[in-house]
Structure 1
Amino acid sequence: MRLTSFTDYGLRMLMRMASAPEQAFSTADLAEEFNLSRHHLSKIMQRLARGGIVQTQRGGKGGARLCKAPGDIPLGSVVSLLESDQPLVECLAVGQNTCTLEDRCGLKSRLRAAEAVFLADLDRSTLADIALARKPTRRTS
């Protein structure tokens, strides 16, 4: 199974946010930190906000924060949200199936079951389990 870059970048952003849950993160800062497109990260942030993973606030003190503690955010739920418009194979897409084997195929149900097992296994871990370690603060004596 291969996840989209959309999900990869979303997980990276959440890992960073989980390393400092009290901090608000701007999309511009995250884009610069990860050397990625701000426009692309904005789309990901919007999906995370619609899914109830982050809350966003505009303005000088704005940015995005996690809606819940990192330990309360299961990874399978995040991946499911970010991959929601990317079916594993065409025949799993609603209304887009052009497969001529549809009525006699045994693969579709097995792929759906494998995807469910994959997401369930990810749900055994939370965002807290994969959060980036905090950068050590430099002391001046």
Structure 2
Amino acid sequence: MQLTTFTDYGLRMLMYLAAQPEQQCSVREVADHYGISRNHLVKVAHRLSQLGFIDSTKGRGGGIRLSGEPASMRLGDIVLKLEPNMHIVECFDKSTNCCAITAICKAKDFFRQANQAFIDVLNKYTLSDTIVSGKSFLEIFALPQPTNPDRHKQS
């Protein structure tokens, strides 16, 4: 099972904001700290705002901040909202399923259980559990970061 990059970035943005819950910051600040595309993070921030995870203020002096307490934001719930189509096998998506054995296959039930178990484990943890301490989390951005030369290559 693999989460989309969109969900990964959404979780990272929420973690960054959880490390400084009383402060507002810009999408550019988050993008610069993670070394990822600001344009992509704007879309992520917009979706997180639509879902009620962050508050967004436009204009001069604007920015983003968490809309609630990190301790009340369950990771599984966040993932499910960012990743509504967790189709780990073809038959989970009825609109594109072409599998010839769907009607008699028992494996799909096992995959559904595994999918639910994944979310159940994530829901044992909250956003605040992902942050050792706000200061330590933010200090990591001051350290030299490992680079991955293939990260920004276009496929």
Asked if the contact 1:16–1:132 (Cα under 8 Å) also holds between the matched residues in 2, the reply is no
Q: Which amino acid aligns with 1:87?
A: H
> Which residue of structure 2 lines up, in the alignment, with residue 58 of structure 1?
58
> Which residue of structure 2 lines up, in the alignment, with residue 87 of structure 1?
87
Q: Which runs of 5+ in 2 are unaligned?
A: 137-155
Asked if the contact 1:74–1:127 (Cα under 8 Å) also holds between the matched residues in 2, the reply is yes
Q: Which runs of 5+ in 1 are unaligned?
A: 137-141
Asked if the contact 2:48–2:54 (Cα under 8 Å) also holds between the matched residues in 1, the reply is yes
Structure 1 length as normaliser, TM-score? 0.87
Can you list the C-alpha shifts for 1:74-133, whole angstroms capped at 9, x where unaligned? 000111112114422222124221222211111222111111111111111100111253
Distance 1:86 1:28 in 2: 29
Q: Which moved more, 1:65-74 or 1:77-86?
A: 77-86
Asked if the contact 1:18–1:132 (Cα under 8 Å) also holds between the matched residues in 2, the reply is no
> Which residue of structure 2 lines up, in the alignment, with residue 121 of structure 1?
121
Q: Which amino acid aligns with 2:123?
A: D
Structure 2 length as normaliser, TM-score? 0.80
Asked if the contact 1:55–1:65 (Cα under 8 Å) also holds between the matched residues in 2, the reply is yes
Distance 1:26 1:90 in 2: 39
* Identity level (%): 39
Give the paired residue count.
136
Instruction: Kindly indicate whether residue 83 of structure 2 is the aligned counterpart of residue 75 of structure 1.
Output: no
Asked if the contact 2:18–2:134 (Cα under 8 Å) also holds between the matched residues in 1, the reply is no
Runs of 4+ in 1 over 3 A off after TM superposition: none
CA separation of 1:62/1:95 partners in 2, compared to 1, >3 Å: closer, same or farther?
same
Distance 2:55 2:91 in 1: 34
SS at match of 1:64: strand
